[in-house]
């Protein structure tokens, strides 16, 4: 309800609510503080699985792909498997990064990512990652990308990727897209 271009109206709504609340202002401020708290280390879970800190890297204008990263911890006794990632882009794939003998990094789509029992699997820069494809607008730092992770056993887990600044690890340029 507060998404996208409605951001400023969203803010006005908050001010009105504070006025209506009157003496309850302290509680309102606390609520706003919680909503505005940095989401570093945010987690999502389902059953034996915990999804740690999904984030996407901000893209430059005109870029048509963006990368997403996360970790999955499987506290259960049986292996699970990340089968797909769903998000509001024309295509979302999971890619592995492979470096050939000449030192050239290439990305190849992978059908699934195994999460062994008792293990944590990290999708991280320079390794396996989520690829958001067909972007029509940049991923902007501070934004979020709602997505659904589809696991073989745990089923669908709704998450939000935080969009973070491009880091020293670099972007996806020159990697075969």
| Strand, helix or coil for residue 53 | strand
Q: List C-alpha distances in Å: 90 to 34, 36, 59, 122, 172.
A: 33, 30, 17, 25, 18
Binder among 57, 131, 145, 157 for Cu ion (CB under 5 A): 131
Query: Cβ of residue 22: shortest distance to Cu ion, in angstroms?
Result: 52
Closest separation in Å from C-beta 67 to Cu ion: 6
Determine the residue with CB nearest Cu ion.
95
The two structure tokens encoding residue 7: 């951001």
Q: For residue 53, which of 64, 37, 69, 38 has the smallest C-alpha distance?
A: 69
CB nearer to Cu ion: give 30 or 110.
110
Q: Look up tokens 């509001």; give the residue.
A: 88
Q: Which residue has the tokens 């073989």?
A: 152
Applying CB under 5 A, what is the total number of residues that bind Cu ion? Answer: 3
- Find tokens 């990308």 and name the residue: 145
Nearer to Cu ion, 155 or 176 (CB): 176
**Does residue 107 bind Cu ion (CB under 5 A)?**
yes
Q: Is 80 left (phi over 0), alpha (psi -120 to 50) or beta?
A: beta
Q: Does the protein bind Cu ion through residue 53 (CB under 5 A)?
A: no
| Candidate ranges 32-40, 41-49, 126-134, 150-158; the one touching Cu ion (CB under 5 A) | 126-134
Binding segment toward Cu ion, per CB under 5 A, in 4-12, 14-22, 103-111, 156-164: 103-111
Residues of this chain that bind Cu ion (CB under 5 A): 95, 107, 131
């Amino acid at each position: 309800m507060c998404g996208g271009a409605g951001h400023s109206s969203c803010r006005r709504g908050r001010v009105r609510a504070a006025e209506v609340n009157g003496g309850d202002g302290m509680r309102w401020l606390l609520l706003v503080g919680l909503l505005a708290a940095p989401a570093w280390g945010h987690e999502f879970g389902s059953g034996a699985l915990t999804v740690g800190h999904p984030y996407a890297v901000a893209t430059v204008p005109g870029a048509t792909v963006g990368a997403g990263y996360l970790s999955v911890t499987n506290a259960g006794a049986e292996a699970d498997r990340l089968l797909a990632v769903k998000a509001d882009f024309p295509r979302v794939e999971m890619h592995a990064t492979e470096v050939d003998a000449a030192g050239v990094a290439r990305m190849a789509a992978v059908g699934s990512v195994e999460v062994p029992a008792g293990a944590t699997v990290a999708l991280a820069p320079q390794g396996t990652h989520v690829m958001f494809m067909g972007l029509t607008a940049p991923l902007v730092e501070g934004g979020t990308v709602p997505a659904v992770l589809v696991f073989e056993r745990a089923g669908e887990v709704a998450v939000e990727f935080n969009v973070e600044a491009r880091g020293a690890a670099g972007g996806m340029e020159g990697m075969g897209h």
